[in-house]
Amino acid sequence: MAGSRGRSRDDDAKPAKLTKAALGKFFRVFRYMREQRGIFALGMLCLLVTSLLSVAFPWLLGRLIDARTPTTFWAAPLDDFSNVHSILKLLVLVFAAQAFFGFWRIWFFGSVTENALTRLRKDTYSHLLKLPMAFFAQRRVGELNSRISADVALLQEAFTTVLAEFLRQFVVIGSSIAVLTYLNTDLMLTMLATLPVVMLIAVFFGRYIQKLSKEVQDKIAESNVIVDETLQGVQNVKAFSNERFETQRYGMSVMSARQLALRSLRWRGGFVSFIIFCMFGVVVFVVYRAAVMKEAGLMSVGDITAFVAFSIMIGASIAGIPEQITSLLKAVGATERLMDLQDETAEALDVVEAKQRLELQGRIEFRNVSFHYASRADVPVLRDVSFIAEPGQRIALVGPSGAGKSTVASLVLRFYDPVSGSMLVDGKEARDYPLTALRDRMAIVPQEVLLFGGTIRENIAYGKPGANDAEIGPLHGKPMRTTSSPVSPTVTGRWWVNGACN
Say how far apart CA 34 and CA 59 lie, in whole Å. 38
Say how far apart CA 35 and CA 119 lie, in whole Å. 12
- The pLDDT score that the predictor gives to residue 354 is 60
- The pLDDT score that the predictor gives to residue 42 is 94
- Are 489 and 471 within one domain? yes
- The pLDDT score that the predictor gives to residue 16 is 63
- Are 9 and 133 within one domain? yes
Is the Cβ–Cβ distance between 7 and 210 less than 8 Å?
A: no
Mean pLDDT by 10 residues, the chain (502 residues): 42 64 83 89 93 88 83 77 85 92 92 91 88 82 81 87 88 87 83 78 77 80 84 86 88 87 84 78 82 83 85 81 82 87 83 72 88 83 88 83 84 88 88 84 75 76 75 56 35 32 32
CATH number of the domain that residue 39 is part of? 1.20.1560.10
Is the Cβ–Cβ distance between 363 and 388 less than 8 Å?
A: yes
Q: Which residues contact 165 (CB under 8 A, 6 or more apart)?
A: 320, 324
Say how far apart CA 426 and CA 361 lie, in whole Å. 6
- Are 13 and 155 within one domain? yes
Using alpha carbons only, how large is the chain's radius of gyration in Å? 35
- Are 466 and 421 within one domain? yes
**Amino acid sitting at position 172:** V
Nearest to 201 by CA among 132, 138, 273: 273
Strand order in the sheet with 500-501: 428-429, 420-425, 364-371, 382-389, 500-501
Which alpha helices (DSSP H) does 277-432 contain, by range? 280-295, 301-342, 405-412
Is the Cβ–Cβ distance between 387 and 498 less than 8 Å?
A: no
Residue 314 lies inside a defined structural domain of this protein: no
Question: What is the 8-class DSSP label of residue 107?
Answer: H
Residue 359 lies inside a defined structural domain of this protein: no
Is the Cβ–Cβ distance between 168 and 51 less than 8 Å?
A: yes
- The pLDDT score that the predictor gives to residue 44 is 92
Q: What number of CA atoms fall less than 13 Å from residue 284's CA on the CB side?
A: 7
- Are 163 and 78 within one domain? yes
Q: What number of CA atoms fall less than 13 Å from residue 170's CA on the CB side?
A: 8
Give the count of beta carbons closer than 10 Å to the beta carbon of residue 327: 21
Residue 106 lies inside a defined structural domain of this protein: yes
CA 159 from centroid of its chain's CA atoms: 12
Nearest to 189 by CA among 197, 150, 66: 197
- Are 371 and 421 within one domain? yes
- The pLDDT score that the predictor gives to residue 13 is 59
**Amino acid sitting at position 326:** T
Give the count of beta carbons closer than 10 Å to the beta carbon of residue 132: 18
Whole-structure pTM value: 0.68
pLDDT in tens, 60-105: 888 888 888 877 777 778 777 788 888 888 999 999 999 999 999 9
Say how far apart CA 377 and CA 375 lie, in whole Å. 6
- Are 458 and 430 within one domain? yes
- Are 126 and 209 within one domain? no
CATH number of the domain that residue 493 is part of? 3.40.50.300
Indicate the helix (H) or strand (E) that contains 54: helix 37-66
Backbone angle region of 470, left / alpha / beta, with phi > 0 → left and psi within -120 to 50 → alpha:
alpha
- Are 152 and 208 within one domain? no
Residue 312 lies inside a defined structural domain of this protein: no
Say how far apart CA 153 and CA 235 lie, in whole Å. 43
Say how far apart CA 141 and CA 131 lie, in whole Å. 13
Nearest to 192 by CA among 52, 321, 315: 315
Domain range enclosing 389: 364-501
Residue 457 lies inside a defined structural domain of this protein: yes
- Are 435 and 396 within one domain? yes
Residue 356 lies inside a defined structural domain of this protein: no
- Are 44 and 161 within one domain? yes
Q: What's the domain count of the chain?
A: 3
Residue 256 lies inside a defined structural domain of this protein: yes
Residue 81 lies inside a defined structural domain of this protein: yes
- Are 203 and 78 within one domain? no
